[in-house]
């Protein structure tokens, strides 16, 4: 499982490197556009140019804020999606483990050497697959949350449950001979994961409300800026 995760992270890093490489030319294009704007501003009358500069500066500030909030909104939407899947996977793992508990005969498995195939075609194996999926979706959510600029979320607070579950499952199988530690571990994980999901959803709603307000201001400034460019009197 560790080897698979390491390979997945390697592929994700390569994908990120490719994406970053596509943004290298943006700074040059932006500088060119700024130079063209300054040249156009010099051709205006002094009084008109001062008003245009003020409006342009305010619009640029709001535009930057709108871009930043929009990026955060996209990242939060993705994070909520993955956190919801994380919760679903944990619920499924608990359900499979509870089903396995009804026919848990570890003594018979050990005598028949069935433990070598413990994770194959069994409810315990399915529970392990589900918690592995939960761990994968949690990491994907963390990738989105660590990119946020306008929302504070402690990414390290989203604890992965895979190792805790496997530790408890080992004790259940080889020490206690009954499934109770691993079920308790999943129930604790479910409570925490559901709480994390609610928290991120609330932060997403607050950010979307702020984004809507910024969009209205942006639209108003754009209308005023267009009016000034065409020599019309703007209404503040």
- pLDDT confidence of residue 40: 65
pLDDT of 172 > 60? The answer is: yes
Helix, strand, coil percent content, the chain, rounded in steps of 5: 80, 0, 20
* 8-state DSSP, 160: -
Distance CA 232, CA 224 (A): 9
Q: Which residue has the higher pLDDT, 14 or 115?
A: 14
Q: Rg of the Cα trace of the chain?
A: 27
pTM: 0.77
- pLDDT confidence of residue 71: 93
Distance CA 19, CA 27 (A): 15
Span 144-157, average pLDDT = 85
Question: What is the token pair recorded at 131?
Answer: 């918690």
Query: 159-170, pLDDT tens digit by residue?
Result: 778 888 989 988
Distance CA 193, CA 176 (A): 27
b/e string for 94-121 if b means 16 or more Cβ within 10 A?
A: bebbeebbeebebeebeeeeeeeeeeee
Span 95-124, average pLDDT = 71
SS3 for 200-219 is HHHHHHHHHHHHHHHHHHHH
Span 101-105, average pLDDT = 70
Query: 23-80, pLDDT tens digit by residue?
Result: 766 667 777 776 776 666 565 555 556 777 777 778 788 888 999 999 999 999 999 9
Domain boundaries, the chain: 69-202
Q: Which residue has the higher pLDDT, 226 or 138?
A: 138
Q: Which residue has the higher pLDDT, 194 or 9?
A: 194
pLDDT of 2 > 80? The answer is: no
Q: Which CATH architecture has domain 69-202?
A: Up-down Bundle (1.20)
Q: What is the DSSP string of 117-131?
A: GTTSSSHHHHHHHHH
Distances (CA, A) of 21 to 7, 146, 147: 21, 20, 17
Q: In which band, very low, low, confident or very high, does the pLDDT at 13 lie, cut at 50, 70 and 90?
A: confident
Span 95-99, average pLDDT = 91
CA dihedral (60, 61, 64, 67) positive or negative = negative
């Amino acid at each position: 499982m560790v080897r698979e995760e390491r390979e997945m992270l390697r592929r994700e890093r390569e994908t990120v490197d490719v994406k970053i490489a596509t943004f290298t030319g943006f700074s040059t294009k932006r500088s060119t556009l700024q130079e063209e704007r300054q040249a156009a501003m010099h051709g205006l009358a002094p009084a008109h140019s001062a008003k245009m500069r003020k409006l342009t500066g305010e619009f640029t500030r709001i535009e930057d804020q709108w871009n930043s909030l929009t990026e955060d909104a996209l990242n939060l939407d993705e994070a909520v999606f993955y956190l919801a899947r994380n919760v679903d996977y944990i619920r499924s793992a608990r359900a499979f483990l509870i089903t396995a508990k009804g026919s848990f005969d570890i003594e018979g498995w050990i005598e028949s050497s069935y433990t070598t195939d413990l994770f194959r075609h069994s409810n315990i194996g399915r529970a392990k697959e589900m918690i592995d999926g939960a761990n994968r979706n949690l990491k994907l959510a963390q990738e989105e949350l660590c990119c946020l600029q306008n929302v504070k979320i402690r990414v390290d607070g989203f604890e992965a449950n895979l190792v805790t579950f496997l530790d408890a499952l080992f004790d259940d199988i080889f020490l206690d001979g009954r499934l109770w530690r691993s079920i308790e571990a999943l129930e604790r994980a479910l409570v925490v994961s559901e709480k994390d999901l609610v928290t991120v959803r609330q932060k997403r709603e607050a950010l979307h409300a702020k984004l809507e307000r910024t969009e209205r201001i942006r639209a108003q400034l754009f209308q005023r800026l267009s009016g000034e460019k065409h020599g019309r009197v703007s209404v503040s």
